[in-house]
A = this chain, B = another copy of it.
Amino acid sequence: MVILDGKKISQKILDELKLEVATMKKKLRLAVIVVGPKSPSAIGQTTQKFIQQKQKAAQLIGVDFRIFPFEETVTTDELRKRIAQIVHEKKNTGVIIQLPLPEHLNVQYILNSVTPEKDVDMLSARSLGDLAVNKNRILPPVAGAIRAFFEEYEIDYKSKYIVVIGAGKLVGLPVSLWLLNEKTTFTVLRSTTPDLSEFTKKADIIISGVGKPKLITGDIIKEGAIIIDAGTSESEGKIAGDVDFESCSKRASYITPVPGGIGPMTVAILFKNLINLAKNQK
């Protein structure tokens, strides 16, 4: 059993990106829209940690990291208008909106205000449309992270049977769109699926992004399966994935840990996306 080492591989990617950034004439800046209470402790520990990880990676590779904070009471229209300005500003080579947003906001409408040229997270409808027709320059970070793992560990995923658990905005949906472009056979399981194990037991690769700790246990996976845990939830104050690592690692051939698996890889790919998009900006 091999642990897919997100810490190590993301560091390797960031080291490469650092060299690339150094050769670029253009100064890169990631603009980060953060909506919420002023006190950072009130944002939520997990969210805070995610922002810090991105900031650290930015510093490491020499990219300017600029937080644009907004009051929790901001309206959808105000936020859209301000994001449009931030996107329009030449200095901001990429723009991301830190999720989750307060409940009163129209999340997708706000995400759509980032134009594809700067949409490093690929969460806007237009970026996803480009992906659907296979005309995307970059991949959604989670899909890019998974692909980078497959490449690094020389896992031939295209001929494998893949099971995706969940169809949410951050994992299941972008991963499914990516797999539609690859010539892979895949199944999407939902909260309504009567029995996950019927599918997971046959899967060569499982990609889970639900946010339910211990959803996937060793008894419902195939011997030798490849387990990608992209779930995120908090369990007893810690970040938890969807996979019961202990039981699954005994049967899997490859498995991602949480933390230290998909998380840091997604951050690295975010910056890879930033660089790739910046190259195409005037």
Contact = CB atoms under 8 A, between A and B. Distances in A.
A46 interface: no
A187 to B, nearest CB: 4
A112 B132 CA distance: 12
Contacts of A188: 179-180, 185-187
A42 interface: no
Contacts of A199: 185
Nearest to A167: B180
Interface bracket on A: 35 or more
Nearest to A159: B192
**Integer count of this chain's copies in the complex:** 2
A201 interface: no
Given A127-B129, A132-B129, A176-B180, A187 B187 contact: yes
Contact of A132 (B132, B134, B158, B184): B132
A121 to B, nearest CB: 13
A18 interface: no
Contacts of A126: 125-126, 129
A193 interface: yes
Pick from A108, A179, A180 the residue with the most CB of B within 10 Å: A180
A108 B135 contact: yes
A190 interface: yes
A130 interface: yes
Interface string A141-179: 000000000000000001100000001010011001101
13 contacts: A125-B129, A128-B133, A133-B169, A159-B194, A167-B180, A172-B180, A176-B176, A176-B180, A180-B188, A183-B192, A184-B192, A185-B187, A186-B188
Given A127-B129, A172-B180, 9 more contacts: A125-B133, A126-B126, A128-B128, A129-B129, A180-B188, A183-B190, A185-B188, A185-B192, A185-B199
